[in-house]
Structure 1
Amino acid sequence: MRNEELIPADEICVRYQVERQFVSSLYESGIIEIVTVQETEYIHCDHLAEFEKMMRLHKELDINLEGLEAINHLLKQIQDLQKDNVRLKNRLGLYE
């Protein structure tokens, strides 16, 4: 993992105007991943979109952490079902 792909968690808190506890809660819930390098916590740039989505849901719709966990779980299930659907369509295409 390259350092230029890592964003300091404190910088994210400042830019998005969220509390550090919110970022920690998302990490503890398994919604985002935090990498620790030399006692500094970072969020990988691949998880930034997930963080932004959860932050917007929390701020704009006032959804609590438990609701964010449920939404995240359901979104992952939808993605898995969509992948299965594509896979099955591809298999079906072989027999047509």
Structure 2
Amino acid sequence: MKREDLIPAEEICVRYKVERKFVRSLFDSGIIEVITIEKTEYIPQDSLTNFEKMIRLSRDLKINLEGLEAIHHLLGQIEKLQKDNRRLRNRLGLYE
């Protein structure tokens, strides 16, 4: 992963007005990825969308960490099922 694709966790905390503890708890739960380089923590750009979703759910709906973990898991299952559905539709198209 290129260093340009990494955003310092401190910058994200300031920009989104969240505590460092929130970022750490999302990382510990496996919801986002955090990469440490030379004692500085970074969040990859491709984890940013997921991070923003979790912030909105936490702030707007007052969902706690356990709820965020459950939602993350369910969203992952939905995404997997959608991929499987597309794959099966494509295979079915071969027989039509």
TM range (shorter): over 0.9
**Equivalent residue number for residue 41 of structure 1:** 41
**Equivalent residue number for residue 91 of structure 1:** 91
Residue 35 of structure 1 and its aligned partner are, at CA, apart by 0.2
When the two structures are superposed, what TM-score results if normalisation uses the length of structure 2? 0.99
- % same residue: 69
Residue 63 of structure 1 and its aligned partner are, at CA, apart by 0.2
State the distance in 2 between where 1:84 and 1:91 align.
11
**Equivalent residue number for residue 21 of structure 1:** 21
State the distance in 1 between where 2:43 and 2:73 align.
20
Aligned to 1:7, the other structure's residue is in SS state strand
Residue 45 of structure 1 and its aligned partner are, at CA, apart by 0.4
What count of residue pairs does the alignment treat as equivalent? Answer: 96
Residue 12 of structure 1 and its aligned partner are, at CA, apart by 0.3
Write out the 4+ residue segments of structure 1 that deviate beyond 4 Å after TM superposition.
Answer: none
Unaligned 5+ residue runs, structure 2? none
Aligned positions of 1:36-75 closer than 5 A: 36-75=36-75
Residue 55 of structure 1 and its aligned partner are, at CA, apart by 0.5
- For the pair 1:5 / 2:5, whether they are aligned, the reply is yes
